[in-house]
């Protein structure tokens, strides 16, 4: 299984957008950047983190660096936007991700707005600042969809968002707190209150859940799974994976195969 990398897919920049037709089956895969796919027409099936969605015109999917997704279709016409979090309003994107608006059916009255913005984004070449404005307009409108159900995100949304983007790279409490705009002591206290777990446990949860998805959707080696998930101590990873999930990676794969 291939993990798609920012350096390869974004053509040396922070955003790449194209309109294309997708046919056939694209197997489950992750990437180290954010991705939006907005369906113009056609039908198919999207599977995002084990949840299957019937794709059709007007649906929008947002994938994060911890998402695994696959597509199966005879033909879908869509806009594909791959982008770095550096190009976005961090708080707004963080709240959108954490409020769970990762698959949205765009309202009929909003289709013209989204069609125009995605068309402009796909046609705007070279001027990254201008494309950033368009992307943030899209994200802002999507954020308003979340607001219909939940008024506000957590005050430490940016910090949690930073961890989603950087969990493989040994993020420290100090650097995460700085990104969120708080002191480490205050951030640690609020983080525990908001999430119910410590900073370290939250990072471990992201890493182990990602490792479990890799085990379930790929045939890469256990050592590669550990490295891809941010663990540099392989024996420790083996021991802790079994303690957390009640089975080894090999046993998990055998259960899936036999199911």
Task: Name the domain boundary from 118, 147, 176.
Answer: 147
Tell me if 152 is assigned to some domain. no
pLDDT band (50, 70, 90) for residue 101: low
Q: So what's the pLDDT on residue 127?
A: 85
Number of structural domains the chain divides into: 2
pLDDT at 151 over 50: no
Q: How far apart are CA 47 and CA 69, in angstroms?
A: 5
pLDDT at 149 over 50: no
Regarding whether 139 and 168 lie in a shared domain, the answer is no
65-101 as b/e: b if 16+ CB within 10 A: bbbbbebbbeebebbbbbbebebbbbbbbbbbbbbeb
Regarding whether 213 and 137 lie in a shared domain, the answer is no
Regarding whether 116 and 200 lie in a shared domain, the answer is no
Digit-coded pLDDT (tens) for 172-218: 999 999 998 999 999 999 999 988 999 999 999 999 999 999 999 88
């Amino acid at each position: 299984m291939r993990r798609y990398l920012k350096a390869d897919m974004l053509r040396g920049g922070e955003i790449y957008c194209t309109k294309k037709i997708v046919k056939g089956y694209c197997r489950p895969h992750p990437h180290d950047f954010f991705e939006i796919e907005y369906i113009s027409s056609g039908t198919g099936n999207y599977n995002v983190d084990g949840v299957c969605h019937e794709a059709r015109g007007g649906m929008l999917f947002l994938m994060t660096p911890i998402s695994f997704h696959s597509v199966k279709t005879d033909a879908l016409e869509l806009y594909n936007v791959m982008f770095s979090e550096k190009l976005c309003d961090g708080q707004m994107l963080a709240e959108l991700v954490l409020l769970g608006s990762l698959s949205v059916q765009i309202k009929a009255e909003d289709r013209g707005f989204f069609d125009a913005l995605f068309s402009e984004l796909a046609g705007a070449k070279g001027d990254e600042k201008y494309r950033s404005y368009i992307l943030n307009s899209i994200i802002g409108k999507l954020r308003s969809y979340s607001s219909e159900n939940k008024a506000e995100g957590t005050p430490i949304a940016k910090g949690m968002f930073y961890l989603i983007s950087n969990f493989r790279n040994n993020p420290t409490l100090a650097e995460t707190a700085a990104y969120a705009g708080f002191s480490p002591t205050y951030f640690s206290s609020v983080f525990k209150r908001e999430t119910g777990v410590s900073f370290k446990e939250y990072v471990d949860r992201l890493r182990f859940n990602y490792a479990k998805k890799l085990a379930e959707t790929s045939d890469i080696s256990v050592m590669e799974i550990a490295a891809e998930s941010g663990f540099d101590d392989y024996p420790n990873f083996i021991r802790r994976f079994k303690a957390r999930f009640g089975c080894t990676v090999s046993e998990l794969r055998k259960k899936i195969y036999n199911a």
